[in-house]
Every structure is written in structure tokens, then in C-alpha cells.
Amino acid sequence: LDLDIAPGELVGVAATDPAAAASLVRCLGRQADPEAGTVELDGVPLRDLDPGRLREAVLVAEHEAVLFEGTVTSNVTSNVTVTTDVGHAPGAAVAEALEAAGAGDIPPGTPVSERGGSLSGGQRQRVALARALAAARPVLVLHDPTTAVDAVTETRIADGISRLRRDRTTVLVTTSPALLAVADRVLLLHEGRVADEAPHADLLRRNPGYRAAVLA
């Protein structure tokens, strides 16, 4: 796998094998290092970076995100630090992130039980996505962030991610057509390599394997 992502680019990665997608996410989050080769940030291998500095620059939001006991607000702001540039008062930043994540209908003061058990699956997923967006990291990796929401909400979320992450590097590891449609380009990952690369609409038109992966 040979992949370069430019600063500020919104890239979709559609994998024909879910295990390959999960492995890529683990490598990008430094939970595992590749067996060969390197993952680099601005030309520096991740393994050579201080873990704290890496977390300030890169946030990997995994598919099975866990919420904690508190409120929607406390969960959404748990990754927000003084190094971020949300550019608004905390309340406004929370509202903006919730709206972009399709969770504007969930009051910020809503109580959240341990592991988010008091919320529905779709609510948990949207609050977790809002938390990732509110962190405003320079690089954000999202892994299947919309599997528990309906198609209309998913389209709204795709627009929200595109809007809120403008000029920040974002990687969407997903087979969701709605999310892939807002990406600058999409990479089709098949058998451990990039098998094709183009905007979503172009891949749909010309690549049967891509159509099978994202429209199944």
C-alpha cells in the first residue's frame, strides 16, 4: 500500500475486505505498526514521534467508540484541549460539532450513562462523531462513523463533516456512498493495494468492484 495524503485533503478509503480497513485504521492510530514500511506524518515516521505530540496532531475515531458517564457535552468536549482551534466559546463549539454530526436534536445536557447505555445506537454513534469533530485535530481518521443512522441523516452528516473539516486533513475509511461522495478522491483498497483511485462518481461509473463494495 503506497498512499500520500495532502494537507487539507478529504480522502475516502473503501476496502473490499473489512479486515483490511480495520488494519489500516490501527496503523494510522499507531495501535500497530506495519510489518514492512512506515506510516509518516510530515515525513516523520509515527514511531519516531512523541506519543503525546502525535495525539495532538492525529485523532483516529474507531468504529466502536465508547462513551462515558456524564452528559452529552462532557463527552463531546473530552478530546478538546487548549491546542485546538475550535474558534468559538465551548458551548458554541459543542453545538457546531453536534449539528455537523447529525446530533443537533440531542440536547447537550442529556445525561449519558456508562458506555452510553442510556442512548440509542444511532445517538451513541452521532455523539461519538461529534466528539471527534469537536477535537479539531489537524488530521482526523473516521472509521465507519454512520453505520447506525438512516440514509437521510447520513447525507446530512456527510455534508457536516465536509463543512466542519474544510482545510483540515480527513480520512474516511468507509463504504458509505454518502460519505464517499463528499471526498476529494476515493481509494479502492483491494487485496492489500490501491486498486483504483478517483472521485466517487467516477469510480461508480467505471469500476464494478467498487460498485459491489459500496452498493452491496
| Stretch (H or E) spanning 140 | strand 139-143
Closest alpha carbon to 73 in 89, 95, 99? 95
pLDDT at 85 over 60: no
- Helix, strand, or coil (residue 35): coil
d(CA 38, CA 43) in angstroms, rounded, equals 10
d(CA 38, CA 47) in angstroms, rounded, equals 8
Which pLDDT value is given to residue 180?
98
Q: What are phi and psi of 51, to 5 degrees?
A: -55, -40
Please classify residue 63 by burial: count the beta carbons closer than 10 Å to its beta carbon, then call 0-12 exposed, 13-18 middle and 19+ buried: middle
Domain 10-215, second-level architecture = 3-Layer(aba) Sandwich (3.40)
- What is the grid cell recorded at 92? 458554541
Q: What is the mean pLDDT of the chain?
A: 92
Section 17-29 average pLDDT: 94
Which pLDDT value is given to residue 150?
95
Sequence ranges of the domains in the chain: 10-215
Q: What are phi and psi of 143, to 5 degrees?
A: -110, 110
d(CA 103, CA 202) in angstroms, rounded, equals 31
Per-residue pLDDT tens over the stretch 103-141: 999 999 999 998 888 999 999 999 999 999 999 999 999
pLDDT at 87 over 60: no
Name the pTM for this structure: 0.92
d(CA 199, CA 177) in angstroms, rounded, equals 11
pLDDT at 84 over 70: no
Count of positions (residues) in the chain: 216
pLDDT at 214 over 70: yes
Contact at 8 Å (CB) between 188 and 207? Answer: yes
Which pLDDT value is given to residue 81?
61
